Amino acid sequence: MMIKSKRLPLYVAGGAGLSALAAVFGLTLTHSGPSAAGVTASPPSTVVQTRATALGQILVDAQGRSLYLFAKDTGPVSTCQGSCTSAWPPVPVSGAPHAAGTASASALGVIGRSGSSRQLSYAGHPLYYFAGDHKAGQTKGQALDQFGAKWFVLNPAGAAVVNAQSNAGNSGGGGGYGY
């Protein structure tokens, strides 16, 4: 007489266990080739927070990257298009944006760009990164005049910080309103 086991083979049970762990930790299983499977983190939601710098309190993302406004943008529409977006990438939105620190949740917004992409805005200003900022807290794009106008970091009220030395990394001081 032959006895049949009612247990699942170990590799099937192991796969189910991995899927359950992935779900608990917000991971997504992906297939990256003919025989390789990978695990990647789900995209986090967009977070705007504040950071103390030599320019004063400024807005940054969850990784501490400085956020900029473009003085040429006169409302919730981005005028940075084409080659401008290589030097000044728009801040993309994933999930619902959230505020932390002294950033204001009510000042957060989302604007549409060409295609189906979405860009983060704050106090009505479309937000951008500067491609020359390579580390958290850098402000090398501060007060640069490129693509027809100046670029400024923002304070938590959503105003441009203008009373600081231009593109000196993290040097300078004070903050101002208007531009």
Task: Enter the DSSP assignment of 95.
Answer: S
Task: Tell which residue, 178, 138, 140, 158, has the closest CA to residue 48.
Answer: 158
Strand-pairing partners, residue 152, are 69
pLDDT digits (tens, 9 = 90+) for 89-146: 999 998 899 999 999 999 999 999 988 899 999 999 999 999 999 999 999 999 999 9
Average pLDDT for residues 36-62, to the nearest whole number? 77
Tokens (6 digits) for 5: 């086991």
Average pLDDT for residues 10-34, to the nearest whole number? 38
Q: Position 19: which residue type?
A: S
**21 and 105, same structural domain?**
no
Confidence of residue 66 (pLDDT cuts 50, 70, 90): very high
Task: Tell which residue, 177, 156, 178, has the closest CA to residue 48.
Answer: 156
Q: Position 40: which residue type?
A: T
Burial of 85 (0-12, 13-18, 19+ CB in 10 A): middle
**94 and 34, same structural domain?**
no
Q: Is 150 in contact with 144 (CB distance < 8 Å)?
A: yes
Q: Is 92 in contact with 103 (CB distance < 8 Å)?
A: no
**146 and 126, same structural domain?**
yes
- The count of domains in the chain is 2
Average pLDDT, the chain: 77
Q: Please check whether residue 165 lies inside any domain of the structure.
A: no
Is residue 80 predicted with pLDDT exceeding 90?
yes
**54 and 128, same structural domain?**
yes
Q: Please check whether residue 130 lies inside any domain of the structure.
A: yes
Q: Please check whether residue 178 lies inside any domain of the structure.
A: no
Measured between alpha carbons, how far is residue 69 from residues 6, 32, 58, 75 in Å?
A: 63, 37, 12, 11
| Amino acid 114: pLDDT | 84
**112 and 37, same structural domain?**
no
Q: Please check whether residue 161 lies inside any domain of the structure.
A: no
Q: Please check whether residue 179 lies inside any domain of the structure.
A: no
Domain residues for the domain of 15 are: 10-41
